[in-house]
């Protein structure tokens, strides 16, 4: 303990404390205080191992564990980010020393902040992935209810953001469900590589205390211990992997957000965002702005930037622990917050939006059935190339003469091109076109109902 009442875990070989500007960049407590629940779990498990290994007797163990309980209550009562300590490891040991005196430092035997911080951070990451998974599921549930509302509603589908073919509102909504389902899968795949225990690697070469890594792993909720101590303290590919899974999710959400922004505009008018998920303008009283969706769209870039910066920070690091790795927490915490806020605002936005069935039906212009008509002609024996060209001519003709395409059936159609003579009035019906798309992943109501069932079963 130093006279200014701060504790340093490495004071002995130095003439004085670090320069203020070094202390400022080096201190990680303002960030890593969030790790305290994991720090305590690791301390408790380590104390048990030290006792098993004969380095602590039962009485010392009980005193330290009771001290840790009191430290926990202190930590629970407020954010300790403003404490003077270098990091969460130092803070917990200092507060433990307040409770049990010098014995507190026994917890440091045979381990290093290098293996402890990797362990704490992996534990935090496992919990964060569980939280994100829960938020994804909430958004997916909102999508399912909104899809139910748009079940039989014909809706325009776009390619190149140009009107293309008819689909249903439900099918559009569910098209955003499946990327999230894959995102959950990616996170659960990554979990297997996060759930390895680094504790026991000490500073990098392995602990000198005879701990049982399998028992420690089990106790702390890991699948198994890391295989190599240098790798255990010096590798963060598992952080990259989780960040990528989160970034891909944010990227997928930015596409959903873009649809919301565009479809809610007066020009499209396919959806209406609830008042609670719209914002106003300080000048234009009439405005209803989709700020939540726009910010969700921007967060795709926020996460991409965090991922890219993080990957770059790992490149070329030498074997073992380097302080560069401390920055993993800044990135992870910022990324989780950015993604969690995005998921939450989109769940609310999706759960409360309404479709404008009339505008959607109005957007289904007959030219969107041109491909269907060509395919039906092909089924009647007109080679598809000729059918495609003939229908193209018909569309141009109708456009030039200001006529509507539905007026062209039988002889009227044949007058434009003889290959078109088989066209019947019902070929220009958008609902009938929907029903024809009954292939497994298609837009037909029956197929979408099956899809919705499948989606429900994933939750």
Binding site for ligand ARG (CB under 6 A): 28, 32, 87, 113-114, 117, 321, 325-326
10 Å CB burial of residue 52 (0-12, 13-18, 19+) is middle
Place of tokens 């952080």: 239
φ and ψ at residue 264, rounded to 5 degrees: -85, -10
Other beta carbons less than 10 A from residue 148's beta carbon: 13
How far is Cα 344 from Cα 350, in angstroms, rounded to an integer?
10
Identify which of residues 90 and 278 has a Cβ nearer to ligand ARG in the complex: 90
Residue 242: partners with Cβ closer than 8 Å, 6 or more residues away: 125, 128, 129, 187, 190, 194, 332
For residue 164, how many C-alpha atoms fall within 13 Å in the half-sphere facing its CB? 8
Q: How far is the CB of 47 from ligand ARG (least distance, A)?
A: 20
Place of tokens 């070094």: 22
Identify which of residues 108 and 218 has a Cβ nearer to ligand ARG in the complex: 108
10 Å CB burial of residue 96 (0-12, 13-18, 19+) is buried
Residue 367: partners with Cβ closer than 8 Å, 6 or more residues away: 163, 395, 405
Residue 167 contacts residue 155 (beta carbons within 8 Å): yes
Q: How far is the CB of 32 from ligand ARG (least distance, A)?
A: 6
Q: How far is the CB of 53 from ligand ARG (least distance, A)?
A: 23
Identify which of residues 37 and 351 has a Cβ nearer to ligand ARG in the complex: 37
Identify which of residues 49 and 86 has a Cβ nearer to ligand ARG in the complex: 86
* Among the listed residues 278, 274, 277, the one whose alpha carbon sits nearest the alpha carbon of residue 289: 278
Identify which of residues 155 and 321 has a Cβ nearer to ligand ARG in the complex: 321
Identify which of residues 125 and 326 has a Cβ nearer to ligand ARG in the complex: 326
Catalytic residue among 145, 188, 265, 281: 281
Buried b (16+ CB within 10 A) or exposed e, 127-137: ebbeebeebbb
Q: How far is the CB of 324 from ligand ARG (least distance, A)?
A: 9
How far is Cα 39 from Cα 88, in angstroms, rounded to an integer?
8
Q: How far is the CB of 49 from ligand ARG (least distance, A)?
A: 20
User: Is there a catalytic annotation at residue 168?
Assistant: no
Residue 63 contacts residue 101 (beta carbons within 8 Å): no
User: Is there a catalytic annotation at residue 281?
Assistant: yes
Q: How far is the CB of 285 from ligand ARG (least distance, A)?
A: 51
* Among the listed residues 171, 176, 154, 173, the one whose alpha carbon sits nearest the alpha carbon of residue 368: 154
The secondary structure element, H or E, covering residue 159 is: strand 154-159
Pairing of strands 271-272, 354-355: antiparallel
Catalytic residue among 160, 175, 176, 240: 160
Identify which of residues 6 and 289 has a Cβ nearer to ligand ARG in the complex: 6
Angle at which helices 177-194 and 113-149 cross, to 10°: 160
Identify which of residues 9 and 304 has a Cβ nearer to ligand ARG in the complex: 9
Q: How far is the CB of 10 from ligand ARG (least distance, A)?
A: 7
Cα dist. 356→195, 295, 373, 406, 457 in Å?
Answer: 47, 24, 27, 24, 28
Identify which of residues 114 and 247 has a Cβ nearer to ligand ARG in the complex: 114
Q: How far is the CB of 75 from ligand ARG (least distance, A)?
A: 17
Q: What are the tokens at 3?
A: 């006279």
Q: Which residues are catalytic?
A: 160, 281
């Amino acid at each position: 303990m130093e006279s200014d009442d701060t504790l340093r875990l490495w004071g002995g070989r130095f003439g004085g404390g670090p320069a203020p500007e070094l202390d400022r960049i080096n201190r990680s407590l303002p960030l890593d205080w969030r790790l305290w629940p994991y720090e305590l779990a690791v301390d408790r498990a380590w104390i048990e191992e030290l006792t098993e290994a004969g380095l602590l007797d039962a009485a010392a163990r009980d005193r330290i564990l009771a001290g840790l309980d009191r430290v926990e209550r202190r930590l629970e009562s407020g954010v300790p980010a403003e404490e003077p300590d270098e990091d969460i490891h130092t803070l917990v040991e200092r507060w433990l020393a307040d409770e049990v005196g010098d014995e507190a430092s026994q917890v440091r035997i045979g381990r290093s902040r290098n293996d402890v911080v990797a362990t704490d951070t992996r534990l935090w990451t496992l919990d964060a992935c569980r939280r994100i998974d829960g938020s994804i599921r909430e958004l997916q549930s909102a999508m399912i209810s909104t899809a139910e509302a748009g079940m039989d509603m014909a809706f325009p589908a776009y390619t190149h953001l140009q009107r293309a073919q008819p689909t249903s509102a439900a099918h559009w909504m569910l098209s955003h469900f499946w990327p999230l389902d894959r995102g959950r899968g990616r996170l659960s795949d990554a979990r297997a590589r996060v759930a390895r225990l680094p504790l026991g690697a000490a500073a990098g070469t392995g602990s000198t205390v005879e701990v049982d890594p399998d028992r420690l792993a089990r106790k702390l909720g890991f699948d198994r211990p890391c295989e190599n101590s240098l790798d255990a303290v010096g590798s963060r590919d598992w952080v990259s992997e989780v960040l990528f899974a989160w970034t891909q999710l944010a990227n997928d959400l930015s596409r959903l957000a873009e649809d919301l922004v565009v479809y809610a505009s007066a020009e499209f008018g396919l959806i209406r965002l609830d008042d609670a998920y719209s914002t106003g303008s300080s000048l234009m009283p009439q405005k209803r702005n989709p700020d939540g969706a726009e910010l969700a769209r921007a967060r795709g870039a926020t996460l991409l930037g965090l991922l890219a910066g993080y990957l770059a920070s790992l490149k070329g690091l030498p074997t073992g622990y380097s302080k560069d790795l401390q920055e993993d927490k800044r990135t992870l915490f910022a990324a989780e917050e950015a993604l969690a806020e995005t998921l939450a605002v989109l769940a609310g936005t999706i759960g409360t939006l309404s479709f404008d069935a009339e505008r959607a039906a109005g957007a289904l212009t007959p030219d969107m059935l041109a491909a269907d008509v060509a395919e039906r002609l092909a089924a009647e024996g007109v080679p598809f190339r000729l059918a495609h060209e003939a229908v193209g001519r018909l569309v141009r003709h109708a456009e030039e003469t200001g006529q509507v395409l539905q007026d062209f059936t039988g002889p009227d159609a044949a007058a434009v091109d003889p290959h078109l003579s088989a066209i019947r009035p019902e070929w220009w019906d958008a609902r009938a076109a929907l029903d024809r798309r009954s292939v497994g992943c298609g837009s037909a109501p029956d197929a979408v109902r099956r899809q919705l069932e499948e989606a429900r079963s994933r939750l």
